[in-house]
Amino acid sequence: MKRRLFILLASLLLITAKGFAYDEANYLYASNIEASAGSQVILPINLHNDTLMSGLQFDLHLPEGVTVVMEDEETLEASLAKRASGFTWMGSQLKDSTYRFLIFPSSKDIIADTDGTILNITLNIADTVKAGVYNIYLVDVDLSTESEKTLSTKGNAWESTLTVTEYIGPTLDEKLDNCT
């Protein structure tokens, strides 16, 4: 049911657009982050917009061994930032390392023109991921303006980095908790 609703909303976001364009003044990007193997980290997704926005959609490509944390079997772990109050988000896993996210208004809310975090996604770094620098990509980004014009970045990818440090194993407290 959630998947059908997600597909329906994604389709509506694209079908209702009156225009289609690419605009360098409005873009989505992920922050560079650092974490150790075997840990979880928050990936901030940021929106720079000179135009009032009414919604957006994007695909997130993660390196092997990095996944979005699942709250349950169907729900990805993420939260909207303050600047997206009045909005709702949905997400789903498309393939092993690809996830699609959709952010849309609960009513006629808009995202003000500014720059900052819009969504925080919780990532899990497997303890098998070797130390190094890995690329994270945001692709197939569609931004919907208040005037129902779609700004698209199809064919372009916004790249950020995940720096993974060596897995250090469980802490002493975690080991003691497992003994009781």
Task: Single out the residue of 122, 34, 48 nearest to residue 78, CA to CA.
Answer: 122
Q: Answer whether 56's CB lies under 8 Å from 142's CB.
A: yes
Q: Check pLDDT > 60 for residue 18.
A: no
Say what the pLDDT of residue 180 is.
59
> Would you say residue 14 has pLDDT above 60?
no
Q: Judging by beta carbons within 10 Å of its beta carbon (0-12, 13-18, 19+), is residue 157 exposed, middle or buried?
A: middle
pLDDT at residue number 64? 96
Q: When comparing pLDDT for 22 and 94, which is higher?
A: 94
Per-residue pLDDT averaged across 161-165, rounded? Answer: 96
Say what the pLDDT of residue 76 is: 96
Q: What is the mean pLDDT of residues 108-121?
A: 91
Could you tell me the CATH number of the domain that includes residue 149? 2.60.40.680
Whether 145 has a pLDDT exceeding 90, the answer reads no
pLDDT of the residue at 17: 34
Q: Is the pLDDT of residue 130 over 90?
A: yes
Domain extent, residue 95, equals 2-179
β-pairing, 19-21 vs 149-152, is parallel
Radius of gyration in angstroms for the set of CA atoms belonging to the chain, rounded to a whole number: 18
Beta carbons of 11 and 90 less than 8 angstroms apart: no
Q: What is the mean pLDDT of the chain?
A: 83
How many domains does the chain divide into? 1
Which of the four pLDDT bands, split at 50, 70 and 90, describes residue 15?
very low
